[in-house]
Amino acid sequence: TYYRKDVSEMDESIIKELSQYVLTAEEEKEEIIKITEALRPELNIDEAYMVQEELIRKKMEKGQKVIGPKMGITSEAKMKQMNVDNPIYGYVFDYMVTEDGGAVSAGNFIHPKVEPEIAFILSEDLQGPGITVDDVLEATEFILPALEIIDSRYENFNFTLPDVIADNTSAAGAVYGTDLTKPEDVDLDTVEVTLVINGEVQDAGTGAAILGHPANSIARLANMLGEKGRKVSAGERILAGAVTQAIPIKPGDHVVAKYGGEMGEVSFKVT
């Protein structure tokens, strides 16, 4: 039955039902009312990650492959807006990825928005607790530009923290740049990133917008996953978080994120 407070008692059938609820919305591109309004008001964060895990399992069962984890709600502004202190994580899958400079079809989404991110590739696995910024930088093989497309499955991006965790943190698309930079060759907290759509600057920020330093976001991820006996793996592309606000995109848009510090740029077109 619904309305159980104890996480360990959340029925397996409810986890399955809630994960199918968000999966169907993604597949049919039909927005849904948030879980905490439509189905389970008391959904908490632990339960929400159980729903996300089941969603990930369902995708893998279909043959879809994880490219890497992503961190969400990593900016001061977003945390304040949602009244939370902790970032969240989800996973980017192969079917979400478009090559740098390629075309993304708006018809694949409900109400997509784009945000420029900083991505990491590690040369060794990291598992918390106790992972620090220095540990992350030491384990980092490359830093790369990335654009993330977020597309909450919920009406008007209207959700609570557990809702968005269950919805795989709105993960919907990713474009990774091809310019790989060594971590010692860029100041990740001061590096400037500008989001340009159709030649017009939409917003700009520095790496510090991501939890003070992008490597701090990866450390938080390794520590959160460590609590579950999981880790961040070498070779995965990891999205650390957004440098600016997310901007809605539509057919005809040409989206470019330009990075300082010789990190290069990354772009895509919307059709």
The contact set with Mg ion (CB under 5 A) reads 148, 242
Count the alpha carbons within 13 Å of 194 in the hemisphere toward its beta carbon. 10
Which of 90, 162 has the CB closer to Mg ion?
90
CB 185 within 8 A of CB 262: yes
Strands 254-259, 97-98: pairing kind: unpaired
Cβ of residue 191: shortest distance to ligand 0L1, in angstroms? 18
Q: Which amino acid is at 255?
A: V
Does residue 169 bind ligand 0L1 (CB under 6 A)?
A: yes
Binding test (CB under 6 A) with ligand 0L1, winner from 224, 242, 243, 266: 242
Cα–Cα distance for residue pair 147/255, rounded to 1 Å: 9
Cα–Cα distance for residue pair 161/167, rounded to 1 Å: 10
Q: Which residue is nearest to ligand 0L1 (CB)?
A: 72
DSSP, res 181: B
Q: Per CB under 6 A, which region of 29-37, 68-76, 175-183, 204-212 contacts ligand 0L1?
A: 68-76
Which of 15, 246 has the CB closer to Mg ion?
246
Cβ of residue 248: shortest distance to ligand 0L1, in angstroms? 11
Binding test (CB under 6 A) with ligand 0L1, winner from 170, 194, 216, 244: 170
Q: Which residue is nearest to Mg ion (CB)?
A: 148
Q: How many CB atoms are located within 10 Å of the residue 155 CB?
A: 15
Q: Which amino acid is at 265?
A: E
Cα–Cα distance for residue pair 90/256, rounded to 1 Å: 24
Going residue by residue from 94 to 133, which x/- string records binding to ligand 0L1, judged by CB under 6 A? ----------------------------------------
Q: Per CB under 6 A, which region of 3-11, 20-28, 150-158, 193-201 contacts ligand 0L1?
A: 150-158
Does residue 217 bind ligand 0L1 (CB under 6 A)?
A: no
Provide DSSP, 105-126.
Answer: -GGG-SS-EEEEEEEEEESS-B
Cβ of residue 17: shortest distance to Mg ion, in angstroms? 27
Strands (E), the chain: 66-72, 88-93, 97-98, 103-104, 113-122, 140-150, 171-176, 192-197, 200-206, 237-242, 247-248, 254-259, 264-270
Residue 164: contacted member of ligand 0L1, Mg ion, none (CB under 5 to 8 Å, by partner type): ligand 0L1
CB 158 within 8 A of CB 111: no
Binding test (CB under 6 A) with ligand 0L1, winner from 18, 143, 147, 164: 164
Q: Per CB under 6 A, which region of 26-34, 164-172, 227-235, 260-268 contacts ligand 0L1?
A: 164-172
Q: Per CB under 6 A, which region of 144-152, 181-189, 202-210, 217-225 contacts ligand 0L1?
A: 144-152
- What does the binding site for ligand 0L1 look like in residue numbers (CB under 6 A)? 70, 72-73, 148, 150, 152, 157, 164, 169-170, 242, 246
